[in-house]
């Protein structure tokens, strides 16, 4: 039996159909704008997200950084969640490479700012201060979906203060499926959006930044400077196009599997779980040695990561309902605290 790997939705391997799409991809030198598959992916993604233009980049990290640098100049500031990927998990790139000062603020357990705190954090126009330029949201954030009315309210507040808005939508697809709306509806209030093809959508690599034609023209230049311009990259774009047509609606299966996993684990002594909005289950382990739980699961062909006393378990393309039953059974067999 192949192990059930719940560490992340990034562990998926390309399906046979995706490999066929890769093998058959028409390609050209994308630095010259000659790769038809990249151009098609960019057009289709812009259309899907209701934006004028899109740019294919290597990763979600590069997507966010090029977007931030396209909005902000040296000495500008962006408001971002304390636990947001862009601030916490991207090696400080906005500050290091963009000379953009982050203003991190707390997010609640559902990934939302206190909008009063956001308003208070916008700096007055005064040479003592950095220029607050951008508000950055993340949907989903740790598997939690931001409701559309909250997004609209946050973006209206940003507009009132003259700020642009960026959505880190690495898992925007999951948010749209969970909300039962189109990806464009999730993206609508934002000036720019980054999306990943390599998370729940199961492509081997690739992300896109979407926004106005003018913003994407700036992003194009930053991508070059960041070393992210690639040549016959239609081979990856083909995987992305396949993912967009074949792997978005099925995210509902991942969400159902995550709910089943949460229910099953929740019945086990010593494990408490958070609600699973999308494809993530956060299990808190009341065991003396939580890492021993991970070792026990590994022996049972289940790969989980435990940090402190928490394990984030993520469902994806390579996990089915049968796998979930196996995981719950293996967890229930753990001798316990």
Query: With respect to ligand PLP, which residue has the nearer C-beta, 170 or 319?
Result: 170
Task: Give min distance, CB of 332 to ligand PLP, in A.
Answer: 30
Cβ(31)–Cβ(229) under 8 Å?
Answer: yes
Query: With respect to ligand PLP, which residue has the nearer C-beta, 46 or 314?
Result: 314
Query: With respect to ligand PLP, which residue has the nearer C-beta, 60 or 290?
Result: 60
Question: Where does this chain bind ligand PLP (CB under 6 A)?
Answer: 59-61, 64, 85, 138, 168, 170, 196, 198-199, 207
Task: Give min distance, CB of 90 to ligand PLP, in A.
Answer: 7
Task: Give min distance, CB of 268 to ligand PLP, in A.
Answer: 27
Query: With respect to ligand PLP, which residue has the nearer C-beta, 37 or 207?
Result: 207
Task: Give min distance, CB of 142 to ligand PLP, in A.
Answer: 8
Query: With respect to ligand PLP, which residue has the nearer C-beta, 164 or 198?
Result: 198
Task: Give min distance, CB of 197 to ligand PLP, in A.
Answer: 9
HEC assignment per residue over the chain: CCCEECCCCCCCCCCHHHHHHHHCCCCCCHHHCCCHHHHHHHHHHHHHHCCCEEEEECCHHHHHHHHHHHHCCCCEEEEEECCCHHHHCCCCHHHHCCCCEEEEECCCCCCCCCHHHHHHHCCCCCCCCCEEEEEEEECCECCECCCHHHHHHHHHHHHHCCCEEEEEECCHHHHHHHHCCCHHHHHCCCCEEEEECCCCCCCCCCEEEEECHHHHHHHHHHHHHCCCCCCCCHHHHHHHHHHHHHCCCCHHHHHHHHHHHHHHHHCCCCEEECCCCCCEEEEEECCCCHHHHHHHHHHCCEECCEECCEEEEECCCCCCHHHHHHHHHHHHCCCCC
Closest residue to bound ligand PLP by CB: 60
Task: Give min distance, CB of 216 to ligand PLP, in A.
Answer: 19
Query: With respect to ligand PLP, which residue has the nearer C-beta, 59 or 284?
Result: 59
Long-range contacts, stretch 334-337, CB < 8 angstroms, 24+ apart? 334/268, 334/270, 334/287, 334/293, 334/296, 334/297, 335/296, 336/269, 336/270, 336/287, 337/269, 337/270, 337/286, 337/287, 337/288
Task: Give min distance, CB of 1 to ligand PLP, in A.
Answer: 28
Query: With respect to ligand PLP, which residue has the nearer C-beta, 42 or 279?
Result: 279
Task: Give min distance, CB of 206 to ligand PLP, in A.
Answer: 8
Query: With respect to ligand PLP, which residue has the nearer C-beta, 138 or 191?
Result: 138
């Amino acid at each position: 039996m192949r192990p059930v790997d719940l560490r992340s939705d990034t562990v998926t391997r390309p399906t046979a159909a995706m490999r066929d799409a890769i093998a058959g991809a028409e390609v050209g030198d994308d630095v010259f704008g000659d790769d038809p598959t990249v151009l098609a992916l960019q057009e289709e993604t812009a259309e899907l997200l209701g934006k004028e233009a899109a740019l294919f980049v290597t990763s979600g990290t590069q997507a966010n950084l090029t977007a931030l640098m396209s909005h902000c100049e040296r000495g500008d500031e962006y408001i971002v969640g304390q636990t947001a990927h862009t601030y916490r998990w991207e090696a400080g790139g906005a500050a290091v490479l963009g000379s953009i000062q982050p203003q991190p603020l707390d997010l609640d357990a559902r990934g939302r700012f206190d909008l009063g705190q956001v308003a208070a954090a916008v700096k007055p126009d005064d040479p003592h201060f950095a220029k607050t330029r951008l508000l950055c949201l993340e949907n989903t954030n740790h598997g939690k979906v931001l409701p559309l009315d909250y997004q609209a309210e946050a973006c209206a507040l940003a507009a009132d203060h003259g700020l642009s808005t960026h959505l880190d939508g690495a898992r925007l697809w999951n948010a749209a499926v969970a909300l039962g709306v189109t990806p464009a509806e999730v993206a609508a209030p934002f000036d720019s959006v980054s999306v990943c093809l390599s998370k729940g959508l199961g492509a081997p690599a690739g992300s896109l930044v979407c926004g106005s034609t003018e913003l994407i023209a700036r992003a194009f230049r930053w991508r070059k400077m960041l070393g992210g311009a690639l040549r016959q990259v239609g081979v990856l774009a083909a995987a992305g196009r396949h993912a967009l047509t074949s792997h978005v609606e099925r995210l509902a299966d991942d969400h159902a599997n995550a709910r089943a996993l949460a229910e099953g684990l929740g019945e086990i002594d010593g494990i408490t779980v958070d609600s699973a909005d999308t494809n993530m289950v956060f299990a808190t382990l009341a065991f003396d040695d939580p890492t021993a739980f991970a070792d026990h699961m590994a022996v049972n062909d289940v790969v989980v990561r435990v940090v402190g006393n928490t394990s984030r378990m993520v469902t994806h393309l390579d996990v089915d309902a049968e796998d979930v039953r196996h995981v719950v059974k293996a967890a229930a067999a753990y001798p316990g605290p």
